[in-house]
Structures are given as C-alpha cells and as structure tokens.
Structure 1
Amino acid sequence: MAEIKIVGTAHVSQQSVDEVRLAIEEFRPDVVAIELDPARFSALKKQGRDPTVNDVLAVSNFNSLLVQWLLAYLQRKIGFDVGVEPGAEMKAAIEEAEKRGIAIGLVDRDIRVTLLRFWNSLGFIEKIKMFWALVISIAEVDRGQEIDIESLKQQNVIDVVMEEFRKFSPNGARALIDERDAYIAHQLVLLKVQRPEGRILAVVGAGHRHGITGYIENPSTLPPFDSLTREPKSFPWAKVFGFAVTFLFAFLLAAIAFSGVGWNVLLYAFLFWVIIHGTLAAVFTLFAGGHPYSAITCFFVAWMTSLNPMLHAGWIAAYVEARVRKPPLSDFRKIYETESLGEMAKIPLFKVVLVAALANLGSLIGTVLYFIFIFPVLNIDPGYVISTGVHNMGTWLTGLL
C-alpha cells in the first residue's frame, strides 16, 4: 500500500527549506505533492503569461483582488525580514524533485476558486474585520515587529492560531483552511490509488497538516469533491441592498412630489443625491491616487450607478483609470515584488484596482449619508412628507382606477 508522509512548513522559513530537502533525500518519494495549483506553480517558476489589465478589469470583484495583493505583500514582507523568499520551501521541493527525476503533484485548489469562495463566504462585518486586521498586521510588520516564524510550525502554537482565526472569521477559516484540507486530502488519496506501492511526500503549510492527516486516516469523512470546487452560491445581499436603495429613493421622491411641499424641494432632493454621491466617489478616487479624469467621471456617473444594482461607479472609474494610466504587462509581476506599500501604490495597475474599490466605497457612504441627512438638509418634517405623500398617492391611484 502507498505510504504518505506530510511535511508541515512555514512559507517564509529557511528551516522549512532545509527540512523539505532533507525529507526528499531520506524518504525517497515517488511523488512530491506540493501545496500549489497550476497557476501558482507557473508563477513560482516565472512561467506563463501575466494577466493583462483587461483580465483584471474582467474580475470585477476588486475588493477581493486588493485583499489578495495585500496578503501577498504581508507574506513577502515577513519573508524579507527573515531573509527568506515566500514560497522558498515549495521551490526547494520542486528543484529537488526535478533534479532527482521525481514526479510532482499539484494538489492545492485553484487559487481563484479559493479566493472566490473565501470572499463570498464572508459577511459584511467579517469583510470589514478582515480588511482592518490585514491593515493592522501590515502596519506592525512595516514597523519592524519581530515574528518567530519557527514557533508557528509547532502544533500547539498552530492550534492556538487556528482557533483564534476561527473565532475571528469562522466562514473565512472554513474556506481557507478546512475546505483546502479536504481538497488536498482528496488529491493525496487519488495519488495513493494511482500509485498503490509508491511513496508520496506532501509538502504543505503547517496549519494544514493536522486536518489533512485526519482525512487521510479516515477517508470516509471527506466531503464530496464537487462541493469543494463548484462556485459558491450565496444570498445576493448586495443586489438586494441595491434594489432596496433604488426603491427607497424613488419612493422618497414620489412622497415629496405628492406631499405638496413644493417642486423646489423635489429638485433639491434630487440634486443632493447627485452631489453627495458624485463628491464622495470623486474624493475617494483622488484619495486612491486616481487620475483627475477618473474622479471627474466618478462625479458624473455615481448618482446613476448608485441606483443600478448591476453597475458600480468603481467599475467605470477603473476603466477610465486603466485607459489613462495604460498599465504595462509587467505591472502584475511588480505588485508581487514590491518592498513597501508606498512603492506598490505607485504602480498603475494597483491604482486601477484601488480606485475601483475606494470609488465604490465613497458611493456607498454617499447612499448612507443621503438617507440620514436628506430631511435635515431640506428642512422638512419626514413624518408629514411621508404620510401626506402616501395618502395623496393613494387618492391619486384610486382616481385612476
């Protein structure tokens, strides 16, 4: 029967690099299974085509992409501090396997599927907490706070870290850890079936070792494979919110129109919608380092996109930013090679994504502020306007019928 040995590593640890090389030498596997998917394997070996700006624009989920880049920066920054390139242990496994003529198995789930399932699994509050924690972590690392990488590979420390992550973001932990444990275990079981008399060495992050081992020892507990790979279906809260905003805005204008407070009040209510959305979206675009053309475009379209759940101001701003900045193909690789956030912020492609994310945030804040301050700004009584408007609308509809 095939024998499986699992080596748990830290992705920025020189000791992990040495352990991987030693394990391959001593275990003499027939297959080295590594925690990579084909896309990351090609990127690690600097093979294949870098995504173009059109590929990035087609993603549309700019928040998820921004989080991915910041996570990569955090890992790379830690690697710089300890003198080890992120993914060095995976590179070592690949180099040793190729040098010895050992087959390589790519056993991790497609990174795009993982990120999609991760981001869609998070609630609105969880996304805010995750982004804030990421910003704090980057700030601490940039200030030079020391991290004991080797201690993170000890099982008791790993258990504590995993438990804290589950408390902080249970849905995120399920997508990033539990599902990938099961996916990798599925792949290892398949390799075991394909090579019943072979030896399989799995090189994975230390945080995955316990979960994968449990599944390997009890394959019957593995969830169905297709449940780990299909696109997640979640309740479309964002679209529901968008349609609710459209309905509330239309209802508010109708109530004002039928309440008899004057057409000038109706005009001011509409203009306030245009100005507050346009101004905040434009200001956030400039704050992201966006081009003035992108900010001007945001100002004129934000009021319309905020009423269309299928369209966002940030998407249009990103398109304009991309056409003005014209990010070169090399930008995608540069983002993964920068040594500081300041350097990253100057990369045109990063600006495109940041502009999209912050323009959408500005428009969202505009929507919230509008419904909070519309009545004080217009200096009218909301109870009177709504009750009188609804009554008059009902009378008018009754007359039509």
Structure 2
Amino acid sequence: MSDAGEADVPEPPAPPDRERGSVEVLGTAHVSQASVDEVRETIEREEPDVVAVELDEGRYRQMQGGTPDDIEAEDLLSGNTVFQFLAYWMLSYVQSRLGDQFDIEPGADMRAAIEAAEANGSGVALVDRDIQVTIQRFWSRLSLTEKLKMIGGLALGITDPRTLGLAFGAVGGAFFGLIVATFLAPLLGFSDLFTVGITDPAVLQYAGGSAIGAIGGAFVGLLFLPSLESASRYTGGYLSGFSLRVLAGIGLGIAGCLALVATGTFVGPFSASGIENTGVYAIRGTTGVLAGLGIGVSIGAILGLVLDTVGSDVDEIDEIDIEQMTDGDVVAAMMEEFRQFSPSGANALIDERDAYIASNLHELREQGYDVLAVVGAGHKAGIERHLLNPHEIPTIESLSGTASSRRFSPLKILGYLITVGFLAFFFLLVMAGVRNVFLLKLFGAWFLFNGIFAFTLARLAGAHWSSAGIGGAVAWLTSINPLLAPGWFAGYVELKHRPVNVRDIQTLNEIVDDTERPIGEAVEAMFDVPLFRLIMIVALTNIGSMIATGLFPFVVLQWLAPEIGGIDALMGQLLQGAQNSLELLRGLL
C-alpha cells in the first residue's frame, strides 16, 4: 500500500520520571454515543500521561483527513490483495450499518479519545496492528466455506434474499444443464434426450452456424465495435453501450455464418460436417440450458424463501440495545458466536490483536507511562489477561507476518495436479512420436481457448482492452500453474488506468445501504466504483481460464483428435508414450 496521507503520526511525550507506570483498559462500542461520552469523561477525570487508541497509522491518518490508501499494482501480484479487500469491505459494511442505525459515525469513540487527549494535554499512542496485516491473516485463515459465507453476506446486503435465490438458481441451473447436455450426456449414453429428435443435416448446419456466429460475433463486438456510451439514452435505460456492442456483434456474426451455410460456402476448418457437429452441440446445449434454467429457478425460489426466513430472524438482532454491547456478558456471547463461525478467523481478528495491543501497552507501562487504553469492548478481557501475564505475550514479529498459515490447501493441491497432468500429457505425446504439427496445433488451441475465455470474461467485467488482452495472453500459462492467475496480471494493468483506494469501500457501503434503489441500478453503480470493478475483473478473468481448462478435454480434444484417429487413438498414443518412457528409463538404469 502507498502512504495514506500527510497527517503526522502522534508520538507519546517524554517518559515520566517513574520506574513503572500503569494501564487502565476502557472497553467501548465503536458506534455508541454513551461510549463517546464515557471516553471524554474518563480522560478528563483520570488525566493519563498517554491515551492509547485501537488504531494503526493508516486508519489514524484517514480519520484525520489524510488521503486513503491506494492499492499499488505491485501489491496485486501477491495474490490475495483483492480478496483481502472483500473481507475488509464485509467488516466495514457491518460496522457502517450499525453506525447508521444508531446515528453515530463508526469509530467515533476513537476520534473522541484523540480529541479529549489533545485537549487534556495527554499524549496519544497508536497501538493496533496494521489493518492490512490483520485482514490478510484473517482471510488466509478462513476456510473456503467461510469465505463463501462472507461474500454471501455482502450479496444479501445488496438485494433481497428471494431475488438472490432466483438469480443463483437460474445461473447455476443453466450452467449445470449446459454441462450435462453437452459433455456428460454423450459419455453416459443418453445424448438423444437432449437433441429432441432433430437429425436433419440442414437443420443441424443452420443451428451450428448460428452458434458459431453468436460466439464469434460476441467476441468481435467486444473487441472491435465502437463504444456507445450514450446508448442508454436511446434505449430507455434498458441497454448500455456495452450490451449493444455485444448484441450487435452477435447479430452480425449469426447473419454472416447463416449466409455461408445457405450458400454452401464453407471456409477454413469450418467444413459442412464440422458445422453440422457444432449444430448437434448447439441443440444439446440449448435444450440443457432451458431444462437447467427451469429446475434452477424452482430450486432458487425455495432457496430465496429460506434465506428470507433466515434474514427476518437476523433482523430481530437490531432490537438489541447498542449500549449493551459494552457489557461483558453480551460481548463474550458475541465473540463466542464468531468463534463458532470461524475459530481460525477469530484468532487473527481478535486474539492476535489482543496480544499485539497488550504488547504495546506493556511497553508503555514499562517506560513509566500511566496509560488509558480505549479499545473495543470485545478486546478488553483478552488485553487485560495478557497484561497480567506479560511474559506469555507472543513477540510482535510473530504477530506481524503475512504468510499464509496453510501451505497446501486442497485448491493448491488440485492446481499442482493439473500442472503435472498437463506436462505429462505433452511429454507422453512427444515420447510416442506424435507429429510436431499436431503438437503445435494442440498447443495453439490451448493458448487460444484459454485466452478467449479469459479475455471475454475480463471484458464482461469492464476491463480495459489492454488489461483483458494481458489476462488472455497469459491464461494458457497461468491455467497450468497454481501459483499464478491471469486475473492478477489483468488487474495489474487495469490499475494503470483505474486508481483504486480504500475510500471506495465507503462508496460501496452507501450503495448497498440504499435499499430503495432497484437491483439493476445498484449493480450498475457498483461497477462504477473502481474497487468493485477491479474485483470483478480479477475474479472473472480467473474464472474464464478455469472454465477453459475444464472444458478443453471435452471440446478441443474432441475436435483435434480425429487428426490422429480419434480419442481412442489419442489414448493409445499416451499409453505408447508411457511404454517408451519406461523402456528409456530401463535403458538408462
């Protein structure tokens, strides 16, 4: 992160002439007016040498009106930056909603502590850990299920549960139906169920031409058609310039391919039989999408009702008196509930910070200061426990690292297996003596297939053409390397065109809190926020590469395999390559 502004970081006064000081911990609710009043009264009454606040340098400077932190392009290549901001957004959103409900600015207790300390002549000490370190460690500790729950919580804040359930059901059902009809059905022997009895070659050719034209046209429309920024004025707001470019490209592509089919003019690899086979896939895919869409919407409606019921139960929490949040029993219950949600996440977000803050407070006490520590009520018990046993406090260095605690997650293991499988596939074909021309075609297809998917989804997220181009260009490599992702590279280039900083989180919270705004307008407004657009660009570029990697064996290999005798012959070549490799090893040994 870049420097967060020009506000000077406060320094404690010169140490007093006493051997050892003291620490008093005042627990507050960050969105409570009563806590604000208590902070001011306590500082005025106790007159401490130092008021220690639960802030780090970045948050202090932002509170003092400094420039928010920017995301640096180099930080993005660390791999987790965007996802850390998702976690940061979630935590910020919860606090923002509480602040709105009780009509007080989140963090007002810390601001009151700083102002009261300055008015009283006390020093101010920033004793919390860097928020970026905390969020990185918090995010890395969450399981995949817990991360999905957090992102789902944000989604529920944007729209009502029934709309969310229908949307997920429709998208998930359509995608699952497409996969089943196009790829699984032929393997299981019931593909006729999805072709609905259509076998006429002419019909299949027209269907295939339409499918090729739609896919190719959408790609061409994204890449080459001019931007139509004022299009919404001419379409009543229902279509953006982006949508019109895609639709225009699809229309032109379908018209062009249907003209080729009608005149019997086939060019390049698109022979009559090839387009006919594409038609079979198109009909299966359309049937599968429609079937999946119907099933998915039905399941989504049920899911939406369940989420709506759960959401109504959650709303009852709003009736709790916010002032009770400083009561020890209430806070302990809330902390225990969070630990049940994510024990590892609670360790990074609560326990480690308790130790970090206590370590800084103990150091101030050892220097002779009388300290009043103003911290969130959830941290009070943990900090006081550490201060009673300072020799057991972990070192600051052990609490400040940002390395992931899990070196080998299931996803990483899967990524390594994909890498090994990809390299083994090409190695065995080489050992089998497969022609170089076929290997070049295979590699070229891998490059283009991954690149087109990553590029297209990046553009769908609104990426600059150069960002999407870089993501597409490296997708072939990143899809076989679990330590890389094309979205990082696309995001790296995007940051050169679109600066992003933490103030965007406040803007997103305002959009999410506007419950009167239609969901379509809310999503459009969120895409106008640079941080959200960056998140979507990184995520969709990676998803595009993942989809291409998964579909490659079922689509591209099926298309190229006939050059060496079909899939069975290809498998035979792989076995032959394995045998040749074993014979070579025996000869060497």
Taking structure 2 as the reference length, what is the TM-score of the superposition?
A: 0.58
* Counterpart pick for 1:205 among 353, 363, 376: 376
Q: 1:284 to 1:85 in 2, by over 3 A?
A: farther
What's the counterpart of residue 159 of structure 1?
Answer: 332
Partners of 1:239 and 1:309 within 8 A in 2? yes
Report what 1:253 is aligned to.
426
Q: Would you say 1:347 and 2:517 are equivalent positions?
A: no
CA separation of 1:276 and 1:66: change in aligned 2, threshold 3 A: farther
Q: Does 1:333 align with 2:503?
A: yes
Alignment of 1:41 onto 2:60: yes
What is the match of residue 25 of structure 1? 44
Letter in 2 for 1:37: D
Q: For the structure 1 residues 370 and 126, does the alpha-carbon distance in structure 2 shift closer, same or farther, using more than 3 Å as the test?
A: farther
Q: Which moved more, 1:255-264 or 1:122-131?
A: 255-264
Report which stretch shifted further, 362-371 or 16-25: 362-371
How far apart are 1:137 and its partner, in Å? 5.8
Q: Answer whether contact 2:77 2:492 (CA < 8 A) is retained.
A: no
Whole-angstrom distance in 1 between the partners of 2:133 and 2:493: 28
Deviation of residue 393 (structure 1)? 3.2
User: Closer, same or farther in 2 for the Cα pair 1:367/1:122, shift >3 Å?
Assistant: farther
Check whether the contact 1:16–1:89 (CA below 8 A) recurs between aligned residues: yes
CA distance in 1, matches of 2:145, 2:443: 30
Cα root mean square deviation, aligned: 3.7
Give 1:16 shift. Answer: 2.3
Provide the rounded CA distance (Å) in 2 between the counterparts of 1:393 and 1:332: 54
Q: How does 1:144-183 map to 2 (within 5 A)?
A: 145=315, 147=318, 148=320, 149-183=322-356
Name the CA shift for 1:202/1:344 in 2 (closer, same or farther; >3 Å). farther
Residue 324 of structure 2 is aligned to residue 304 of structure 1:
no
Amino acid at match of 1:320: V
Distance 1:292 1:114 in 2: 34
Distance in 2 of aligned mates of 1:364 and 1:152: 44
Equivalent position to 1:16, from 16, 23, 35: 35
Structure 1 residue identity aligned to 2:46: F
SS in structure 2 at match of 1:203: strand
Amino acid at match of 2:112: A
2:133/2:400 contact within 8 Å kept: yes
**Deviation per CA, 1:198-244, whole angstroms, max 9, x where unpaired?**
3x221111211111121122323322333222444645437765554
Query: In structure 2, which of residues 555, 567, 571 is the aligned counterpart of residue 380 of structure 1?
Result: 567
Matches within 5 A, 1:153-302: 153-195=326-368, 198=370, 200-232=371-403, 234-237=405-408, 242-256=415-429, 270=443, 273-302=446-475
Shift of 1:64: 1.6
The aligned residue for residue 583 of structure 2 is 395
Q: After the TM superposition, which residues 85-100 of structure 1 pair with which residues of structure 2 at under 5 Å, given as runs?
A: 85-100=105-120
Q: Distance in 1 between matches of 2:140 and 2:536?
A: 19
- Using structure 1 for the length normalisation, give the TM-score: 0.82
Q: Is 1:76 aligned to 2:249, yes or no?
A: no
Q: Which runs of 5+ in 2 are unaligned?
A: 1-19, 162-310, 513-521
Identify the range of structure 1 (115-124 vs 237-246) with the bigger mean alpha-carbon deviation: 237-246
Cα distance in 2 for residues equivalent to 1:176 and 1:77: 19
SS at match of 1:189: helix
Q: Could you tell me how far 1:334 is from its partner in structure 2?
A: 4.2
Q: Indicate conservation of the 8 Å contact 2:461/2:533, yes or no.
A: yes
Question: How far apart, in 2, do the equivalents of 1:74 and 1:372 lie?
Answer: 44
Q: Return the letter of the residue paired with 2:48.
A: P
Match of 1:340, SS state, is: helix
Cα distance, 1:380–1:70 mapped onto 2, change above 3 Å: same
Amino acid at match of 2:334: V
Structure 1 pair 167/320, CA: closer, same or farther in 2 (3 Å)? same
Q: In structure 2, the residue corresponding to 1:6 is in which secondary structure? A: strand
CA offset digits 1:122-154 (Å, max 9, x no partner): 44454444434454466579x994634444433
CA change 1:63–1:230 in 2 (3 A) is: closer
Deviates more, 1:268-277 or 1:163-172: 268-277
User: Which one is further off, 180-189 or 263-272?
Assistant: 263-272
Amino acid paired to 1:21? R
Q: Tell me the number of residue pairs that the alignment of Structure 1 and Structure 2 aligns.
A: 396
Structure 1, residues 266-310: CA drift from partner, whole Å, max 9, x if none? 567545633553344234423433234433443333112223455
Separation of aligned partners in 2, 1:277 and 1:326: 25
Alpha carbons 2:137, 2:403 under 8 Å: kept = yes
Shift of 1:70: 4.0
Which stretch shifts more, 262-271 or 160-169?
262-271
Q: Is there any run of 5+ residues in structure 1 with no aligned partner, and where?
A: none
C-alpha distance in 1, partners of 2:93/2:153? 14
Moved more, 176-185 or 266-275: 266-275
Select between 48-57 and 301-310 the one with higher mean Cα deviation. Answer: 48-57
Q: What's the counterpart of residue 66 of structure 1?
A: 86
For residue 26 of structure 1, what is the amino acid of its counterpart? R
